[in-house]
Amino acid sequence: MRTEDVLAAIATGLWRWDHASGTVALDGEAARLLGLPAEPAVLPEAAVRSRFHPVDWNEINGIVNLAVAEGTLAEARLRIMDEDGRVLRTVRTRSKPVEHRGDDGRLDHELIGTLQEIAEPQPGTTAAHTPITGDWRRSREAFLLDAGRALAEARSTAEVLRVAASLSMPGFNPDGLAVFGVEGDRLSVIGHHGHGTGDEGPFSHMRLDTDYPAAEVVRTGRAIYLPTPEDYKRRFPATWPLAQRFGRVSWAFVPLIVAGRTMGAWMAAFKQPVSFSPDERSVLTTVARMLAQALQRAGVAESERELTTGLQRSMMPTLGPEIPGMRVAARYVPTGGGLQVGGDWYDMIPLPGGTSRPASGGRFALVIGDVQGHDVRAAGLMGQLRIAVRAYASEGHRPDAVLSRASRFLAGLQSGDPFTGGAAGADDDFGDAFRSPRFATCLYVECDPETGVLEVARAGHPDPVVRMPDGTVLMRPTAGGLPLGIDADTDYPTTRFTLEPGETMMLCTDGLIETGGHDLDTGWARLRAVLESGAHESEDLEKLADRLVQAVHGPSSHHTTGPLADRREDDIAVVLLCREGPGCGCGAPAGHPVLPVRRTMLTVAQAEPARISGARRQVRELLHDWADGEQVDAAVLMVSEMVTNVLMHTDGDALLVAEAVGELGSRRLRVEVADGSDELPHKRHPGEMASSGRGVLLMEMLADSWGVDPRGEGKSIWFELFEQSKPDAA
């Protein structure tokens, strides 16, 4: 009996599809199944292709390409159409791609296989496919879309592995997964699912020349499918005992390929038999490609995060363990530009002239700054500037000299910067942000732990903020100059004030104030509420630092978006300095029920009359909870009059000291304004049109008491107000 007769008896035809010549050779039965005359023929590829349903042709085209790549059989179901577009029958094709090299040296292939008519799904297959191949294709494509979306959203290797373990493939689900990587000449287990802890031990650090499926896949870049344990044992007898104990019956080892390079292998193991039809192999191969891309993206992202985090950590200092009488806490959050490095920084520097370490009780400096920009160049300039400031401070320079030298350093550093020099061509691809000079804001505070005296020099940076033990929060106005790097010869005057026991000072960059769409006013109001809320609970300084960051960068910040919602996010740096005392933020409990003294001090120079408004604001903030609002207005008016008189009638500066003493509801406010003139004020009677001469009259009308005290070279004018001392107007 001839083979042709046997095949014809079971309605099976033969074909040979030569891809190089574009012809298809059919025997009689194959021609009949395709709706052609039942006789052997050699037809053009287009004539045969016109007999297939268009959807199924796209399906078999992908299956053939997969079989060529893997060197396996191509198997598919096809609907045969007549000239009128009606479906005649459904056939099953099994073909073997055979590669050959043509006369022109080009590598091509031909398909040699069978066609067989079918009416129902073949028994024994993994999934109950319908006769219509398109149904399976649509199910597969929906699964692949979901898998691709989930893998694309994974941001770390652990997330990628969790997604891979949760994938539910159409018709078959692996219960054991493993992802193998390559380290030199050995395999590594990146992750696994469906196995116990320690099960990966024998497979870790396995040599690539080992007789193991994953190792062979990495060596050859070709998938290996093992439908039965007998197949596994026959092909890999040496490592079969390692796989036997897991109780699986089918395995697929698929290469993880990115940009033509095999970076590892993916194993899918099944407890139920799987025949690995072309459809199933196609799904596994496609998932492996997406998995490889996701793993590469996650690996690159993790490397970048590790690099930037390490870089930023190396740039950020380690605060000293303890300072007798003081506590320090700091936070840094790089939020700008999507980078993990930025231009903000802080530092704590031991100063010479005493002991070598602040932990031993010597003077130290706190520095906080912000280099313009949110890119890598800003981070590089920040690192160099921080080192320069530390070097100048360690040499023993005063705060004003430190900032002056730092400004010259930054200006000189950028004058020789290849990004800012004149060597760039007309078609330079770098943006203006790389070519233009950068500036930096900075606040330098020299601290004496024994006395609490702080000397502050400021270069275009936000002023420090002080929280008093009773929760009153004041912004301390300080003299300042231009940001660093703008003018190499800028002077930076120094402001001195005392941090009293129980007070906490906050230094921050503008990112803490303006993040979340806020401007300076609304952002400061938000921070004031955070600082005041924990004042009476003796809150730990570290917890206060966390609350400040969470208020502007955590989930709750989304409910308090500022008026400038489109503003770009900025890096955040914050430093807290607390002088230990009753009710402070160092966690020390209050020793007595009486509230401590509230005090503020401010100098208004002859050349800075605009600071009179700052003096008025200081008094209002000091009296934010005063019972009588009219008394607050009166105090502000008298302060404005006293300071203005000093600037108008003397040649010196005005020193304002305001102090509120006593318990809430019965406090005494005392305000003194000192100057260097010996001329005492006297009462006058100005006319209706006079523009001055009413200062003493105001004091007599509004103050509970007032006076003038001579002080060597100069005098001090003072007034006092007693809370609720005047009867209610009602």
The rounded distance, in Å, linking the Cα atoms of 492 and 400 is 5
- 8 Å CB contact between 294 and 417: no
- 8 Å CB contact between 519 and 462: no
Query: Residue 130: what pLDDT?
Result: 42
Is residue 560 over pLDDT 70? no
Query: Residue 575: what pLDDT?
Result: 93
CA-to-CA dists, residue 598 to 305, 468, 637, angstroms: 46, 7, 20
342-389 pLDDT, tens digit per residue, is 678 889 988 886 444 444 457 899 999 988 876 677 777 888 888 899
Query: Residue 427: what pLDDT?
Result: 42
3-state helix, strand, coil in the chain (%, to 5): 35, 25, 40
The rounded distance, in Å, linking the Cα atoms of 253 and 232 is 11
- 8 Å CB contact between 40 and 28: yes
The rounded distance, in Å, linking the Cα atoms of 345 and 59 is 59
Query: Residue 320: what pLDDT?
Result: 62
CA-to-CA dists, residue 336 to 93, 246, 378, 440, angstroms: 58, 49, 11, 16
The burial of 239, by beta-carbon neighbours within 10 Å (0-12 exposed, 13-18 middle, 19 or more buried), is given as buried
Mean pLDDT for 171-177 is 75
Query: Residue 590: what pLDDT?
Result: 44
Residues with Cβ within 8 Å of 612's Cβ and at least 6 positions away in sequence, in order, are: 604, 640, 643, 644, 647
Is residue 601 over pLDDT 70? yes
Is residue 660 over pLDDT 70? yes
Strand-pair partners of 129:
none
Please tell me which of 40-44, 443-447, 485-489 the model is most confident about, judged by mean pLDDT. 443-447
Strand-pair partners of 705:
720
Give 26 or 320, the one with higher predicted confidence: 26
**What are the structure tokens assigned to 571, written together?**
């890096």
Cα of first residue to Cα of last residue in the chain, in angstroms, is 125
HEC per residue, 422-479: CCCCCCCCCCHHHHCCCCEEEEEEEECCCCCEEEEEEECCCCCEEECCCCCEEECCCC
Q: Which residues of 501-524 are buried (b: 16+ CB within 10 A; e: fewer)?
A: bbbbbbbbbbbbbbbbbbeeebbb
Mean pLDDT for 391-396 is 90
**Chain-centre distance of CA 176, in angstroms?**
34
**395-404, 457-466, 569-578: lowest mean pLDDT where?**
569-578
For residue 292, which amino acid is it?
A
